[in-house]
Structure 1
């Protein structure tokens, strides 16, 4: 299991991503060899963050998803989950989150008109 640092802000996310990307790749190789397709990221220590944290998490999600891996984000602080909800991204990280209707409605409308 990989752990997020206590601080994820715009000024340190590029450096953290450089470290996390390598760690994710190594974890996928190690876990993949053990017949698993899920990587766990522990966010329990995250206490100081801004929206750049979501950018880092989206990058991690994209990296994992490229080869069909699942990223499990555990013990995220409630303000992070709220920030993800405000941006309409909560459903990408937590299975119990509702898919925002605004994200679904335009596609349905375009299909109906086409």
Structure 2
């Protein structure tokens, strides 16, 4: 499972996206699951990072899901019209 930091705003987005991309490459599982439970302070950049991670995972032939997404992050995904792309982990 891939874990994101407690703070994910515009200032941390590029570094977090790189970290997740590297972790994806070392992950041998067919499903990439991001654990969003650590998130405490975030902005819409968190959505962008998750979408980038999803794109990377799909390009590698993996499925993608987000576990433990905070309610505010789910609301942002709905506002931006991308909630169907950030499905919860089973």
Question: 1:46 matched to which residue of 2?
Answer: 39
Give the TM-score, by structure 1 length.
0.73
Structure 1 unmatched runs, 5+: 32-36, 96-114
Runs of 4+ in 1 over 2 A off after TM superposition: none
Q: How many angstroms does 1:68 deviate by?
A: 2.4
- Residues 27-71 of structure 1 show CA distances to partners (whole Å, capped at 9, x for unaligned) of 1xx22xxxxx21111001101100111110110010011132111
Distance, in Å, in 1 between the alignment partners of 2:32 and 2:16 is 17
Structure 2 unmatched runs, 5+: none
Question: 1:67 matched to which residue of 2?
Answer: 60
Distance, in Å, in 2 between the alignment partners of 1:4 and 1:70 is 18
- Aligned CA-pair RMSD: 1.2
Q: Which has the larger radius of gyration?
A: 1
Change (3 A) 1:16 1:67: closer
Structure with greater proportional helix content: 1
What number of residue pairs does the alignment pair up?
A: 88
Distance, in Å, in 2 between the alignment partners of 1:22 and 1:67 is 12
Question: 1:16 matched to which residue of 2?
Answer: 16
Query: Quick check: 1:76 aligned with 2:69?
Result: yes
Give the TM-score, by structure 2 length.
0.91
Q: How many angstroms does 1:16 deviate by?
A: 1.3
Distance, in Å, in 1 between the alignment partners of 2:41 and 2:66 is 17
Distance, in Å, in 1 between the alignment partners of 2:20 and 2:61 is 18
Query: Quick check: 1:57 aligned with 2:42?
Result: no
